[in-house]
Amino acid sequence: MASILAYDLGASSGRALLGRLTDNRIETEELHRFGNDPVQVADRLHWDILRLYHELKQGLLKAKHQGVEVSSLAIDSWAVDFGFLGASGELLGNPYHYRDRHTDGIMEKLFADIPAADIFARTGIQFLSFNSIFQLYALKQANSPLLREAKRFLMIPDLLRYFMTGEQVNEFTNATTTQLYNPKLGGWDGELLGKLGLSESLFGPVAQPGQAVGSLRPSLTEELGVRSIPVYAVAEHDTGSAVVAVPALDRSFAYLSCGTWSLMGTEVEQPVISERARELNFTNEGGAYGTFRLLKNIMGLWILNECRREWERAGQSYSFPELVQMSNRADPLAAFIEPDDDLFLHPGDMPGQIRKYCERTGQRAPEGPGAIVRCILESLALKYRYVLELTEELSGKRFGGLHMVGGGIQNKLLCQWSANAIGKPVWAGPAEGSAIGNLAVQWIASGELADIWEARKVIRDSFPVDVYEPADTEMWQEAYGRFLTVTSLRA
């Protein structure tokens, strides 16, 4: 039976997932799962990119050892981060992690040279301090030898795909997240690059999801003892792949890709590049098959992950299910945080940062892991309502509920509290949204599925969707008002 392989790399772990399509039903098998821990070297935080490439090889080897014949593969990952190739085609240094501090204060410096309104009008991308444009400007300001010697800019999936195929190609959905791609021009913005002092030659041709971008290079097939197979560009930003996998019945839908980051939005045919969208710091990232993702980033379960890491450092080890159970026993709706406050961006003492935020906003800080976790999850649910209402405003649509996909949906309390907060149903599933969307684009590319809507129907028929109906709506409505006041957000 023919199988295809999806590599799905998240900010904390990666996986290799096999997919088979039989009688319009998808079967998946996790071949390989591995950690993805950043590496601190002195003051710099890096991705261990060669270790990640090694883990991709292990996925191919495990398929081989199981006697599985893989007919194609593709890679998706997080956005904004990148590596450089030199004149010889070799990697120049380990890519920086987007949470590295070398971009601190850089956004304001760049705006002194290029107004924010001009950048947004050209790209439609929200302003986040770690966007590729700010990382590149930081390297330029530091007179980095990496930038001086660089001949080609490749984002994380581009780079890993290059290691596998030798082809230097940028992929559309990830390229748009750089804040250097102009959707009106349909390519890299040469004028913007010129203002930044960057050569257009640094940026390669842009492939669309579903485009064949080479095959395994001979040195790799010889090393692993496998045959050469096609490699596709999919929606290589993992959120783009997750949106492909949303099992929506209605062509107008709202989604939340829930994991380390929470990304909420809707699918639109044209980017919404307006002053109101810039004011609300929404983004228009590229999607699959001629679409754009009108969405907003929310800090997500990173905050919980960092709390757990801090407790482990202090000798208190809790599993995620234990923390969720403890949170369910804590007092409800007692304290709130704004998940996207700068206090929560960088690694460190996250419980301490939550206490600091509560003290700063005149609240009693939660005490103990259960209360802290409850504060995080309830604050996320309330922020989801805030962003969902803004998404409706910008898109001109009204949504009957919210589709949640990604690993975060395994947290059933978060799903239920999200339904309570928005006052509408939450449809949760599938959990492996990014990997399944990756598989779906490969099947569309090979002709096994006709288009994205047939793929969504097959996904809906293949994976369970849990429905969460809203409860305690009056209590949550009152809490939403307090949340807006405490966080200084506006309804």
Q: Say whether 238 is catalytic.
A: yes
Percent of the chain past pLDDT 70, that is, above it, reads 100
**Chain-centroid distance, C-alpha 170:** 17
Same domain? 227 vs 273? no
What does the pLDDT look like over 278-300, one tens digit per residue?
A: 999 999 999 999 999 999 999 99
- Residues 254 and 198 grouped into a single domain: no
- Which listed residue (238, 331, 461, 472) is catalytic? 238
Beta carbons of 192 and 180 less than 8 angstroms apart: yes
Q: What is the pLDDT of residue 198?
A: 96
166: its two tokens: 């030798």
CA 28 to chain centre: 21
251 and 196 inside one domain: no
Q: What is the pLDDT of residues 456-490, one digit of tens each?
A: 999 999 999 999 999 999 999 999 999 999 999 98
Asked whether residue 222 falls in the same domain as residue 289, the answer is no
179 domain residue, yes or no: yes
177/294 same-domain check:
no
Q: Which residues contact 389 (CB under 8 A, 6 or more apart)?
A: 491
Based on the fold, state whether residues 221 and 294 are members of the same structural domain.
Answer: no
In this structure, are residues 465 and 404 in contact, taking their beta carbons and an 8 Å threshold?
A: no
Q: Does residue 333 belong to any structural domain of this protein?
A: yes
Out of 232, 262, 297, a domain closes at 232
Q: Kindly report the CATH number assigned to the domain that includes residue 425.
A: 3.30.420.40
pLDDT average, residue stretch 377-386: 98
| DSSP-assigned letters across all residues of 406-456 | SGGGG-HHHHHHHHHHHTS-EEE--TTHHHHHHHHHHHHHHTSS-SHHHHH
239 occurs within a structural domain: no
Residues 188, 298, single domain; the answer is no
Confidence (pLDDT) at 362: 97
Report the candidate in 169, 151, 253 with the shortest Cα–Cα distance to residue 207: 169
Quick one: 294 and 394 in the same domain?
yes
According to the model, what pLDDT value does residue 2 have? 83
Interatomic CA distance for residues 402 and 254, integer angstroms: 5
Of 232, 258, 281, the position where a domain reaches its end is 232
Q: Is residue 246 within 8 Å of residue 269, measured between CB atoms?
A: no
Give per-residue pLDDT as tens, 308-350: 999 999 999 999 999 999 999 999 999 999 999 999 999 999 9
**Domain count across the chain:** 2
**Domain assignment of residue 445, yes or no:** no
Does residue 443 lie in a domain region? no
CA atoms within a 13 Å half-sphere pointing along the CA-CB vector of 439: 29
Residue 238 lies in a domain: no
**For tokens 């792949």, what's the residue?**
241
- pLDDT bracket for residue 164 (50, 70, 90): very high
Q: Look at residues 201, 232, 263 and tell me which one is the last residue of a structural domain.
A: 232
The helix-helix angle for 368-395 and 473-487 (nearest 10°) equals: 90
Residue in the structure block whose two tokens are 């309104």: 117
Do 226 and 280 belong together in one domain? Answer: no
Residue 259 reports pLDDT greater than 60: yes
Cβ-based neighbours of 47, under 8 Å, separated by 6 or more: 36, 38, 39, 81, 94, 95, 96, 97, 156
Instruction: Give the tokens for residue 157.
Output: 């999936």
> Residue 1: pLDDT above 80?
no
Q: What is the DSSP string of 93-107?
A: SPPBPTT-GGGTTHH
Q: What b/e sequence results for 281-308 when a residue is b if at least 16 CB atoms lie within 10 Å of its CB, and e otherwise? A: ebbbbbbbbebbbbbbbbbbbbbbbbbb
- Considering the domain boundaries, does residue 240 fall inside one? no
252 shares a domain with 188: no
251 and 203 housed in the same domain? no
Per-residue pLDDT of 115-149, as tens digits, reads: 999 999 999 999 999 999 999 999 999 999 999 99
Provide mean pLDDT across the span 436-453.
97
Which tens digits make up the pLDDT trace of 107-119? 999 999 999 999 9
For residue 238, give every residue at least 6 positions away whose Cβ sits within 8 Å of its Cβ, in sequence order, or none.
Answer: 8, 9, 10, 76, 77, 78, 79, 257, 434
Intra-chain end-to-end CA distance of the chain, in Å? 53
pTM attached to this predicted model: 0.93
What is the average pLDDT value for the chain, to the nearest integer? 97
Please tell me the predicted confidence (pLDDT) of residue 491: 57
Q: How far apart, in whole angstroms, are the C-alpha atoms of residue 351 and residue 367?
A: 9
Expressed as residue numbers, the domain containing 287 is 246-429+450-491
Could you tell me if 62 and 148 lie in one domain? yes
